[in-house]
Every structure is written in C-alpha cells, then in structure tokens.
C-alpha cells in the first residue's frame, strides 16, 4: 500500500484528513507538524505523495514544498485558504498535482488524493524505467553510444569510453567503421525502421601507437527521446580475443590431428623397415662373406637405418609426453635434428650448423630440445621473408665458468653448453624486445603467427633449468642464446651406440640356443612382418605359427600350446596385450614379447613382458625372444 505524508500544523485537520484516507484504503498516512521533522523523514521513507497546507500562501511553507520536490522527487497535493487564481507562481516549481481550497468535502479530498496517487505512481514508474534504461546503457558489457543522424556521439557508456578512447577520444562513430558505405547502409535501414546487425573488422590506433585490427559485432537501431531529433543507438561487441582463441583451438586441434597422422605414417614405415631388415638378414645367410653383393646389402642397411632415424624424429616431433629429462649428448642430438630442420627451410635460405669436437652432455628432455630448435628456426625463417642473402646459423659451444655472464639473467656459476641461433632477418625494435616472450605477442601480420613460439621456447628452457636471452636490432637480425648446465662423467641416453660387427650365424645358432624346437606364435596385421619374423625364427630352429589377427591366434592356441607369443600391440579387434592376458590365463603361452611401431608405448606399461620397438633387426628379435624364454624357464 502506498504511503502519504501530511504536512499540517493543525493536528485536528491532519487527523481528519488521515482518517478519511485510511478509511477509503487509499494509503498509509504519516503526519508531520514541523517542517524540519518532515525534511528528515521524507528523505528516509518511501512516500508516493505529500499533502501540504500552505494556509494563507505562507512563503516558508511554499519554499518547503519546492525543496521537498527537488530533493526527493515527490509530488504534492496542496491545501490552501485561497482559490487557484491566488496561488503564487513560486508554488508551480513544486509541480502540485491538485489544489484543495478550504473548506472542502471528504469526497473532494478522496477524489484529489486518488488522482494525485495515480499520477504520482505513473511518474515513479517512468522514473524507474528511465533509471533502468540508464543502468542498462551505462553498465552494459558491450560498448554503447547514442549518436545524431550524422554520427556525432551524444552519449557513451564506460565500456565504449575504455574501448575507443586510446590514445584519442572518438567523437564520431563513423571513425570506427571501416568505410562510409556501412554508414549509408545504417541510415537506409533506420529509415525503414529496421535494426541493422553486422560484423565488421576495423583498424584502431592503440595506446602504444600501433595499429591493431578489431573484430566487432555491431547493432544499430533508432532511438528517439521526447522533444529531441532522431538519434541512433549503436552497440559494439569486441570479439577479437574470442576469435583469436577459437583460431588457436582450431590450430591446436589441427596440430593434434597432424601429430596423429604422423604417428600413423611412422608406424607403417616402421613395419616396412622391419620387413626389409629381416629379409636382408635372410639374404646374408644365402651368400658367401666375400660376395660383392654384401656391399650392396650394407648400402641398403645404411639407407634403412637413416629411414629408421627419420621415423623416430617424426614421432619425437609429433608426440605429447610428460617431462622426462635425461643425460643427452647435445652434439649428437643437434646433428640429428639438423637433418629435419633443413627440410623446413626453403632452398634460398642458408642454414648452417657448427658443432664442437668434444661431446657436451646435459640433463634435458630430448623432445623439449627438439621443440626449442624447431620453434627458433621457424621463427628465424619467417623473419627472413624479405631479406637478401638470408642466413640462419646454429652454433653449439662450451661456456666456461670464467666467461662473461649476461647481466640481464642471474646465472649460477658453472660450465654450460651454449646454443646460439642467429639470423640476418628483419629484427625487432627496442619497444617490442621486452615483450617477445609474452604469450600471444607477435610482430607478424594477422593470421601469420600465434605469438606462442618464443613463449613456449622460454618455458621449455626454464623447465630444463636453462637460461635464455634475445638480442635484436631492427633491420639487422636476431640472436638467441640458450645455456644448459653441463653434466660431467655421465653416460648419455641419446641412442644406442652402433652395433659391433657380428656373425649372423652365431646369433641364429648360438651354443646355448634355446629357440630350437620351441613353439612360437607370431601375430601382426602386416603380412610382411609375419613373413620376415617367421623366416628369422625358423632359421633359429623355432616352430612358428603366424596369424594376421587375434581371432586366428585364439583358434591356433586352442590346438597348440606355445612357448612364446610374439605379437604386435595394436591389432584389429582385440589388442595384443588382451590376447596375451587370455592366452596366459588359459595356459596357452608361457612368455610374451610385444612389438610396436608407436613411440608412445613404454616398457613399464607391460609388466611381465618385453617391448620390442620397430624397426628391429634379426639380432634384436632373437635376443628378445631368447631372454623372454629364459625368464619363463627361471620363473
């Protein structure tokens, strides 16, 4: 129920008015005899109307009515000793909703109070509506402004102010639009009383005085206030960041798909290489040692080994695995990685690698090192786009304790391996050098860079307890230096050393050959692998059953118990590890060796069974099978 305040010095008149209003159920009534008391209460209580008795046009009461209206926005109903014609002009400033001239009847009072309450409630709703609109306009999450028909900005909210006021304040909304054609379309749509919504891309000068592109979703609608000319309500939603993040997600998913594709291709290549290596070993058994064909076979083996290294590097670049540092020889790893990097560089760009004579062993995740070199070389390649005689150099050297340490980083005194990647490209200006390691910061054109390359490099270097610096000069190229602490007297785990020369016959028929007469079941979905493994194992005297899938293997195992299961992990239908669990539980196989062309599988995933990575040669295959059988006999 609404509340009404009565300002009346005669308490009997006030009580009579109050009683009449409350009996009609129009409102709850508060009575104030003193003006000061009314000032205090009306500011704190919610009233719809106040009734004030100005008596014989008393100036102080009229001033009070005007002051209350201005301070609280309340409208009044006036009681006067004189008629309307005698009311002072000053009272109009209080905007009275009615005047009751004494004496007046109860009916006149009720009618005037009802009418005044109605008008007061309508005015209050209008004020609330205007306030809600102002709040929606002012506190919107999107940039909003009101303009005239020429685009001049009449009013703007806080988001608009912060979005389009650096370094200069926008005074005309047309300065935001990419061209005047769009403004013409806006005017045409508004003339047809339609709302125009569209996406635009515009260039703005940021507070760093660089031009940056903004992607905006815009809405333009007609806006008219009473007593004013036609205006336009403009709304801008900045979607630049969301689109960039969406593009990043798309690129990430694309890289993930490429990684999976690369992994699949490398797996198939490993299968082919394993078959080639197996058949080469069989050819060696058929020809004498002094045959000239041996030179050709050795040439094929060298090519196969290089192809095997290539597949390992492809898997290294594509896989996602947890941080696992290990002692590695930087000289050896960088030499291998250089072969991959050369394929990423156009022929017109010179890429050189300088390595020391001695080995430099550091404790680093090898996949992280490959990623660091890849990102740096790709960045350098992009910086050489418009350079004459483009050149990228990679240098590895030892950085001793007595050397001069960079001032900008706090390095612990030690012996370091120093990697320097240098180009003679466009370079970076002084203002941007401080930001090059920030995520998503890039000086490349739109859609030509993510701004993550150097940020990832810095994170990987620091994760491996290294240090990184960047030196650059506009138009003269960039030099990036990376330091890793050197490990002393540590064996490296980069890769196995070259196998010594051996007699294949001594491997196939050793004095303690336990493969002879053993039943071995070989399972692989690649027929060339089956054939190569079967020939090698049969040459060692084993009795071999070959199956192309787990279903065939299960059927064979029901007829024959096997001493050893040699199976690929990834098989159609039932995987190799599931096949081994079934045959082991049914007593159909005593030992198992898993084969895989995927780098993601590790030995610890298959307790009780060995893991043989493809491609492998006859020696590795026979050693793994012998060891597995020996372990089963000892158990």
Last residue of a domain, one of 75, 102, 133: 133
- Are residues 536 and 485 located together in one domain of the fold? no
Q: Is residue 164 part of a domain?
A: yes
Give the separation between CA 320 and CA 256, rounded to whole angstroms: 9
Report helix, strand or coil for 270. Answer: helix
pLDDT tier at 490, thresholds 50, 70, 90: low
Task: Look at residue 313 and tell me if it is in a domain.
Answer: no
Q: In this model, does residue 430 exceed pLDDT 80?
A: no
Residue 284 lies in a domain: no
Percent pLDDT > 70 in the chain is: 86
Note whether 533 and 415 are same-domain residues. Answer: no
Q: What is the pLDDT of residues 22-35, one digit of tens each?
A: 999 998 888 988 87
Same domain, 62 and 208: no
| 3-state helix vs strand vs coil in the chain, percent to 5 | 45, 25, 35
**Per the domain annotation, does 400 fall within a domain?**
yes
The predicted structure's pLDDT at residue 207:
47
User: β-pairing, 467-473 with 477-485?
Assistant: antiparallel
Q: Once rounded to an integer, what is the mean pLDDT over residues 408-422? A: 84
Structural domains in the chain (count): 4
CATH at residue 85: 3.40.50.2300
Same domain, 331 and 459: yes
The pLDDT, as a whole number, for residue 447 is 47
Q: 147 and 186 share a domain?
A: yes
Which residue range is the domain that position 331 belongs to?
323-498
Angle of the 293-318 helix axis to the 366-383 helix axis, nearest 10 = 80
Residue 544 shares a structural domain with residue 471: no
Residue 561: CB atoms within 10 A of its CB come to 14
| Residue 282 domain flag | no
| pLDDT on residue 413 | 76
Q: Answer yes or no: do 11 and 126 share one domain.
A: yes
Angle, alpha carbons 563-564-570 (nearest 5°): 150
d(C-alpha 552, C-alpha 569), whole Å: 15
Please state the rounded mean pLDDT for residues 258-268.
76
- Residue 382 scores a pLDDT above 70: yes
Domain stops at, among 450, 473, 498 = 498
Q: What is the CATH number of the domain that holds 456?
A: 3.30.565.10
Average pLDDT value for the chain:
82
Q: Which of 356, 371, 352, 354 is nearest to 486 (CA)?
A: 356
Domain co-membership, 456 together with 509: no
Return d(Cα 520, Cα 539) in angstroms, integer. 13
Q: How many CA atoms lie within 13 A of 487 on its CB side?
A: 16
Residue at 277 is within a domain: no
Average pLDDT over residues 86-100: 84
Domain boundary pick from 465, 498, 531: 498
**Is there a domain that residue 31 lies in?**
yes
Q: What is the pLDDT of residue 167?
A: 60
Residues 535 and 405 in one domain: no
Say how many CA atoms lie within 13 Å of 534 toward its Cβ: 15
Asked if residue 521 and residue 470 are part of one domain, the reply reads: no
Whole-angstrom distance between the N-terminal and C-terminal Cα of the chain?
92
Tens digits of residue pLDDT in 210-252: 556 788 999 999 887 655 677 899 999 988 888 888 887 887 7
What average pLDDT score do residues 527-556 get? 91
Same domain, yes or no: 165 and 77: no
Q: Mean of the pLDDT values across residues 5-11?
A: 87
Domain holding 217: CATH number? 3.30.450.20
How large is the average pLDDT for residues 99-111?
Answer: 89
Comparing 141-150, 508-517, 565-574, the range with the smallest average pLDDT is 508-517
Rounded mean pLDDT of 106-112?
91
Clarify whether residues 483 and 547 are in a common domain: no
| Residue 272: inside a domain | no
């Amino acid at each position: 129920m609404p509340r009404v305040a009565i300002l009346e010095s005669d308490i009997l008149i006030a009580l009579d008015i109050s009683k009449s209003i409350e009996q009609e159920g129009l409102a709850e009534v508060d009575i104030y005899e003193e003006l000061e008391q009314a000032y205090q209460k009306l500011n704190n209580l919610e009233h719809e109307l106040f009734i004030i008795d100005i008596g014989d046009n008393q100036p102080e009461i009229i001033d009070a009515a005007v002051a209350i209206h201005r301070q609280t926005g309340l409208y009044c109903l006036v009681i006067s000793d004189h008629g309307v014609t005698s009311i002072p002009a000053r009272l109009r400033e209080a905007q009275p909703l009615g005047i009751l001239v004494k004496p007046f009847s109860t009916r006149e009072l009720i009618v005037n109070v009802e009418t005044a309450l109605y008008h007061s409630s309508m005015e209050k709703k209008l004020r609330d509506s205007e306030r809600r609109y102002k709040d929606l306009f002012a506190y919107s999450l999107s940039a909003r402004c009101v303009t005239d028909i020429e685009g001049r900005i009449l009013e703007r909210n806080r988001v608009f102010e912060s979005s389009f006021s650096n370094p200069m304040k926008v005074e005309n909304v047309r300065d935001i639009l990419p061209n005047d054609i769009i403004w013409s379309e806006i005017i045409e749509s508004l003339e047809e009383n339609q709302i125009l919504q569209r996406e635009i891309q515009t260039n703005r000068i940021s507070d760093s005085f660089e031009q940056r592109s903004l992607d905006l979703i815009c809405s333009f609608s007609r806006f008219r206030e009473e007593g004013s000319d036609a205006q336009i309500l403009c709304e801008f939603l900045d979607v630049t960041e969301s689109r960039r993040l969406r593009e990043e997600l798309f690129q990430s998913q694309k890289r993930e798909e490429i990684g999976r594709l690369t992994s699949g291709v490398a797996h198939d290549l490993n299968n082919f290489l394993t078959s080639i290596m197996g058949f080469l070993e069989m050819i060696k058994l058929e020809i004498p040692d002094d045959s000239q064909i041996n030179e050709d076979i050795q040439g094929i083996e060298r090519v196969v080994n290089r192809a095997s290294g290539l597949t390992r590097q492809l898997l290294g670049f594509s896989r996602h695995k947890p941080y696992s540092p290990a002692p590695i020889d930087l000289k050896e790893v960088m030499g291998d990685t250089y072969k991959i990097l050369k394929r990423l560089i156009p022929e017109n760009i010179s890429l050189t690698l300088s390595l020391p004579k001695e080995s430099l062993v550091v404790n680093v995740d090898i996949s992280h090192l490959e990623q660091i070199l890849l990102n740096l070389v790709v960045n350098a390649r992009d910086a050489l786009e418009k350079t004459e005689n483009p050149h990228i150099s990679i240098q590895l050297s030892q950085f001793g304790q007595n050397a001069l340490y960079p001032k900008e980083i706090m390095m612990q005194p030690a012996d370091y391996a120093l990697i320097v990647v240098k180009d003679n490209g466009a370079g970076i200006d002084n203002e941007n050098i401080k930001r090059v390691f920030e995520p998503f910061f890039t000086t490349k054109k739109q859609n030509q860079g993510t701004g993550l390359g150097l940020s990832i490099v810095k994170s990987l270097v620091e994760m491996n307890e290294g240090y990184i610096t960047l030196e650059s000069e506009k138009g003269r190229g960039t030099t990036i230096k990376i330091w890793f602490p050197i490990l002393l007297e540590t064996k490296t785990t980069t890769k196995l050393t070259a196998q010594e020369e051996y007699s294949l016959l001594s491997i196939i028929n050793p004095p303690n050959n336990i493969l002879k007469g053993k039943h071995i079941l070989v399972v692989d979905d690649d027929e060339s692998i089956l054939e190569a493994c079967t020939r090698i194992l049969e040459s060692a005297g084993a009795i071999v059953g070959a199956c192309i899938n787990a279903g065939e293997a299960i059927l064979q195992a029901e007829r024959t118990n096997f001493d050893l299961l040699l199976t690929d992990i990834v098989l159609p239908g039932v995987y190799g590890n599931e096949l081994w669990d079934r045959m082991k539980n049914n007593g159909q196989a005593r030992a198992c060796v898993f084969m895989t062309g995927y780098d993601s599988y590790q030995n610890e995933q298959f307790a009780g069974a060995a893991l043989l990575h493809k491609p492998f040669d006859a020696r590795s295959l026979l050693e793994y099978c012998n060891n597995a059988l020996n372990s089963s006999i000892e158990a």
